[in-house]
Amino acid sequence: MKILHKNSLIETVDAFNEAVFFNYPWQKEAESLVAWMDSRLGKDRAYAGSYAMTESDWNCEFRLFTGERVSTRAARSHIIAEESTRMMNIIKNETGIDSDSRKESEKRLAAQILSYIPGNTVSTGFYCCGKCSISLWRCVAGGGFSNRLNILEPAIALLAGARDGSGDWHRYPFYYTLLILAEMDSRLALAEIQYCSERLRRARQRLSGKSDSLSKRRLTLIDRLLTRDK
């Protein structure tokens, strides 16, 4: 599958996430991906001077990898910056190909995050909103921020306090939350998987038999989590 889409950072990140999620080969495009990403650093309207979306990205609908819509431009630019930086860290960790733009993106994002006084991000893991918080957690889980933001344990503790009693979490999008839980190997993460296990089974029944790409992603994610709950 093609990973790099030079007209769209959103499509590029989504294609990369799909390749990693389903274990499709992407490594042959690593050098071209890094080179193109270098050219996106600090472009006009980039969040905190990180990786910027293309003009076409601003004029299209933006959905998370798990399908939830992102309605505001501020959230869109922050989430794509975190997801892009996560992508660059995975490329570095798996191929050894690194770039100054990755380091600079982390530096600029960290400066913005650490200045976020209302959320006290470092001690709680919360940043801006539920969707933005999870994009930050995914970046950290993917190897980002060089241990400057050790927020994953307090972040998962946040989820425990946000349970609504129905297998969901207040303000945190359900499937995007499942995505970060699938990437964490901790007792606290397992507790959240167990908390939502019945809802996972109901969702699996609804998705069973559907063949569209989003349903495939969600069904695969659910199956991975239910396997861990045994």
| Structural domain spans, the chain | 9-228
* 3-state helix, strand and coil shares in percent for the chain, rounded to the nearest 5: 65, 5, 35
pTM of the model: 0.95
Q: Which tokens go with 101? A: 């733009």
User: What is the 8-class DSSP label of residue 54?
Assistant: P
pLDDT at 119 over 60: no
Structure confidence by residue, pLDDT tens digits, 8-30: 999 999 999 999 999 999 999 99
pLDDT digits (tens, 9 = 90+) for 177-210: 999 999 988 888 999 999 999 999 999 999 999 9
Inter-residue contact 224 to 179 (CB < 8 Å): no
